[in-house]
Amino acid sequence: MTNNKPHIIGIAGGSGSGKTFFLNCFLHHFKQDEVTLVSQDDYYIPAGEMTQEENKLYNFDLPSTIDDVQFLIDIKKIISGEVVYKKEYNFNNPIAVNKILEIKPAPIIIVEGLFILHFKEIASLLDHTIFIEADEEISLQRRIQRDGFERGYPEEDVLYKWYNHVLPAYKEYLLPYKESCNRIIINNSNDPDDIIRVTDDISGELKKIYLAETL
């Protein structure tokens, strides 16, 4: 290589696709100084204090809820070798403790989120894109379990958001970019070994290509 520009991997997937588990498995294959993660979830524009009903009606699944300008600025800073400090977003969970994230530069930068392919300037920075999807019913059941366990949302609220916010956003802002991605991973299995095998294969390939070039 003639320069030390890191390789940017974009990972996109709808709610309930298993993207978080995929990411955790994927990151596990790298040393800490080999890879860094920048998550769209930490760039939500704060919605302020809301009642349960207001939270149910508020649509988090729109590009306008994301501070895409700061998201882009921070990605570019990391690419240029700067460390970024970012407050973790807690999805209006009053009992959550906000951590300060230290996002360090690395040879491989993973950018993940629902709208990363929709935000044109961010999409233009991605060297390799991975699209993760699952059947709708499987995704919905995963969403119900996650939102009930992690965020304390009643199932009625989860279903309201799913049909009125989540699905329309997925179809408008993510699905149109599916076929342009370098890889499409179908994640209908709830057997973790299936995803572990996939991430093992992909990380091995990327190490050979990307990390070898930085030596």
Read off the pLDDT of residues 143-159 as tens digits, 9 standing for 90 and up. 998 887 767 788 998 99
* Mean pLDDT of all residues in 120-129: 96
Q: What is the pLDDT averaged over residues 23-32? A: 90
Angle, CA of 172, 167 and 42, to the nearest 5°: 80
C-alpha Rg value of the chain to the nearest Å: 17
pLDDT at 174 over 70: yes
CATH class of 7-213: alpha beta
On whether the CB atoms of residues 158 and 144 are closer than 8 A, the answer is yes
Q: How far apart are CA 67 and CA 72, in angstroms?
A: 9
C-alpha–C-alpha distance, residues 19 and 164, integer Å: 21
Q: Is 208 exposed, middle or buried (0-12, 13-18, 19+ CB in 10 A)?
A: exposed
Over 50: is that where the pLDDT of 48 sits?
A: yes
What's the CA gap between 74 and 121, in Å, rounded? 13
pTM above 0.85, yes or no: yes
- Lowest-confidence range among 55-64, 99-108, 187-196, 205-214? 205-214
Q: Tell whether the model's pLDDT for residue 160 goes beyond 50.
A: yes
Q: pLDDT at position 1, please?
A: 35
Overall average pLDDT of the 101-130 stretch? 96
